[in-house]
Amino acid sequence: MRTSKNWFGLVGAALPVLFCGGLLLYFSSVRAAYGGPNGNPLGPTMFGLGVFFLLALLAFLMRLWKFAGGAPASSPGARAEAAAAAESSDFDADAALARYLARRGDGPPAVRPPPGSFGRKND
């Protein structure tokens, strides 16, 4: 399941790259075929497609790098040791609850006055 999800993500990231690349090739051939008066208005369109193409290419390359396994570990057990270190924590939930209850006190909770009306107060 996870592998198919990765493959679908990789293909999904490649689609905008192929679409924008195809449009850039098409518009460059239109620009070359017509030249002169029709070539200049395509400049901003091609620039925008080029920017979107580069962003989509960056997303595709990052997805490909993640699919390939990311950065190699320094040793085979380094990932397991890092995961174990991330799981261990010195947080004590019981002590935190005891501190909270000690600060709160044993009295009833403070009663808030009802919200006032908008504008002038009537006393």
Does residue 52 belong to any structural domain of this protein? yes
42 and 30 Cβ atoms separated by less than 8 Å: yes
Domains held by the chain: number:
1
Task: Look at phi and psi of residue 116 and say left if phi exceeds 0, alpha if psi is from -120 to 50, else beta.
Answer: beta
By residue range, what is the domain housing residue 53?
2-69
Q: Return the pLDDT at 22.
A: 92
Mean pLDDT value across the chain: 77
Does residue 31 belong to any structural domain of this protein? yes
Does residue 80 belong to any structural domain of this protein? no
The better pLDDT of the pair 90, 119 is held by 90
Rounded distance, CA 38 to CA 18, Å?
25
Average pLDDT over residues 109-113: 60
Q: Return the pLDDT at 45.
A: 86
Does residue 88 belong to any structural domain of this protein? no
60 has a pLDDT exceeding 80? yes
50 and 24 Cβ atoms separated by less than 8 Å: yes
117 has a pLDDT exceeding 80? no
Does residue 113 belong to any structural domain of this protein? no
Rounded distance, CA 16 to CA 58, Å?
11
Residue-wise pLDDT tens digits, 62-106? 888 888 876 555 566 666 777 776 677 778 888 888 888 888 876
Q: Return the pLDDT at 58.
A: 93
Task: Look at phi and psi of residue 25 and say left if phi exceeds 0, alpha if psi is from -120 to 50, else beta.
Answer: alpha
Q: Return the pLDDT at 44.
A: 86
Query: Percent of the chain at pLDDT above 70?
Result: 65
Cα-Cα-Cα-Cα dihedral sign, residues 62, 9, 14, 68: positive
52 has a pLDDT exceeding 90? yes
Nearest one of 84, 88, 27 to 53, comparing CA atoms: 27
Rounded distance, CA 112 to CA 30, Å?
71
